[in-house]
Amino acid sequence: MAQKQVFPGETNKAVLEKFLDLPQDPDKVMVEYIWIDGTGEGVRSKCKTMDFEPKKPEDCPVWNFDGSSTYQAEGSNSDMYLIPVALYKDPFRRGVNKLLLCEVQKYNKVPAETNNRHTCAKAMEQVKDSHPWFGIEQEYTLLDGDGYPFGWPKNGYPGPQGPYYCGVGANRVFGRDIVEAHYRACLYAGITISGCNAEVMPAQWEFQVGPCEGIAMGDQLWVARYLLHRVAEEFGVVVSLDPKPMKGNWNGAGAHTNYSTEAMRKEGGLAVIEKAIDRMSKKHDEHIRVYDPNGGEDNRRRLTGHHETSSINDFSAGVANRGASIRIPRQVAEDGFGYLEDRRPSSNCDPYAVTEIIVKTTLLSE
Ligand code: ADP
Ligand code: MN
Ligand code: MN
Ligand code: MN
Ligand code: MN
């Protein structure tokens, strides 16, 4: 039996209900401002009351926060700006309340170091006539309060990998409540979540967001991650985006990035896909450097050439090949058009950085 790890700060949710039942004045809207912190991986948020319901991000005022507390400070100028960019319904507070994704700017209005959205949005604007679509498969691992995978026996390991991928049964999957709650929260918020499944390593799961066009891919995946951390928090469980949380014979976690342009999606598209792959083959090292937030170091633990990965040192591509850097799905090869799957991005990658380099390499380089 999986034992429940109680966090010291855990409270009684039944008591909370009493207060959540209090009527909310419709002229008082709670807007949760969300941003990416200085690690390039963590998300932060804080709430502001507005006296009307915002309908688009521009309706919300620019705000600020203390960058010295988020690894984002610039010397003694620790005020950072929050620039509203995308607005969603809030599945936690419901009603008129909102989630607001923001870009971070420094005191001098220059994008913060981990603000990769700024250049990504510019690149997406340049290539908008190609209508680039993305679908990202976000893998993640649930951890107990002690940092060990959720539901694993406390003094050992579950049986070897095999029965867990897309598994059913209390001895096969750990944490489905969190997965279900997150899925519904994404749908409610307005995220284009396209599916979910249990992964090869027990306590590891995946959800997919997409297809999303251009900058929306990064926006939606970041908010979907935020929702996942918040939902898991409610259950007293921790989400890890580490690409190799358990050493040894356990699969790592990635963020396979599926990509197509309008030309790839119509007849004759396979040739366009092959041309894109050829361009990507010449920039393997550059891609690896931006496919995790630590210049390739995180992915080095994951892209070993084993456990359904390619080696970090080599570029490869193939139809239906899950051991390649780039996979052309079998159906796409048969149809002669469709999309490609870049299997290299790490689970903790910044989707803005990933989608930016993909369009630059395939559409903006000679
Ligand atoms: P896998 O077979 O690799 O596990 P998944 O079903 O998990 O694939 O994920 C596939 C992703 O690709 C989904 O997010 C889906 O929305 C996305 N996708 C489907 N068609 C396209 C396309 N033409 N361009 C970009 N992404 C696409
Ligand atoms: Mn204060
Ligand atoms: Mn998948
Ligand atoms: Mn997967
Ligand atoms: Mn995949």
pLDDT tens digits for range 203-261: 999 999 999 999 999 999 999 999 999 999 999 999 999 999 999 999 999 999 999 99
**Count of CB atoms within 10 A of residue 252's CB?**
27
- Model confidence, pTM: 0.97
Tell me the pLDDT tens digit for each residue of 159-203.
999 999 999 999 999 999 999 999 999 999 999 999 999 999 999
Q: How confident is the model at residue 1 (pLDDT cuts 50, 70, 90)?
A: very low
Q: What residue ranges in 214-290 does DSSP mark as E strands?
A: 238-240, 255-260
| Residue 78: per-residue pLDDT | 86
My answer on whether 141 and 227 are in the same domain is yes
Which amino acid type is present at position 269? G
Angle value at C-alpha 207, between 103 and 172, nearest 5 degrees: 140
Q: What mean pLDDT is reported for the chain?
A: 95
Residue 77 Cα to ligand 4 midpoint, Å, equals 42
The mean pLDDT value for 263-281 works out to 98
Q: For the chain, what is the domain count?
A: 2
Q: How confident is the model at residue 8 (pLDDT cuts 50, 70, 90)?
A: confident
- Given 89, 114, 139, the domain boundary residue is 114
Assign 207 to helix, strand or coil. Answer: strand
| Residue 308: per-residue pLDDT | 86
My answer on whether 98 and 199 are in the same domain is no
My answer on whether 129 and 108 are in the same domain is no
Residue 94 Cα to ligand 3 midpoint, Å, equals 30
| Residue 75: per-residue pLDDT | 67
- Given 65, 87, 114, the domain boundary residue is 114
Residue 215 Cα to ligand 3 midpoint, Å, equals 21
- Given 55, 80, 114, the domain boundary residue is 114
Q: Which of 131, 136, 208 to mutate to test the pocket of ligand 1 (most atoms within 8 A of CB)?
A: 208
Residue 6 domain flag:
no
Q: Which of 139, 166, 258, 354 to mutate to test the pocket of ligand 1 (most atoms within 8 A of CB)?
A: 258
Residue 2 domain flag:
no
DSSP string, 327-339: EE-HHHHHHT-S-
My answer on whether 110 and 128 are in the same domain is no
My answer on whether 101 and 212 are in the same domain is no
Protein residues placing their CB within 5 Å of the ion ligand 4: 206
Its ipTM equals: 0.98
Tell me the pLDDT tens digit for each residue of 14-66.
999 999 999 999 899 999 999 999 999 999 999 999 999 999 999 999 999 99
Tell me the pLDDT tens digit for each residue of 293-325.
999 999 999 999 988 899 999 999 999 999 999
The mean pLDDT value for 137-160 works out to 95
- Which structural domain, as residue segments, surrounds residue 68? 25-114
My answer on whether 274 and 355 are in the same domain is yes
My answer on whether 200 and 347 are in the same domain is yes
* Nearest bound ligand to the CA of residue 254: 4
Is ligand 1 within 6 A of the CB of residue 327? no
Residue 91 Cα to ligand 2 midpoint, Å, equals 26
Is ligand 1 within 6 A of the CB of residue 260? yes
**Euclidean distance between CA atoms 55 and 86, whole angstroms:** 10
Residue 108 domain flag:
yes
| Residue 6: per-residue pLDDT | 66
Q: How confident is the model at residue 73 (pLDDT cuts 50, 70, 90)?
A: confident
Give yes or no for a cis peptide into 211 (omega within 30° of 0): yes
Residue 266 Cα to ligand 3 midpoint, Å, equals 23
Phi, psi of 167 (to 5 degrees): -75, 160
Where on the phi/psi map is residue 19: left (φ > 0), alpha (ψ -120 to 50), or beta?
alpha
My answer on whether 152 and 69 are in the same domain is no
Tell me the pLDDT tens digit for each residue of 85-118.
999 999 999 999 999 999 999 989 999 999 999 9
My answer on whether 64 and 144 are in the same domain is no
**Euclidean distance between CA atoms 19 and 21, whole angstroms:** 5
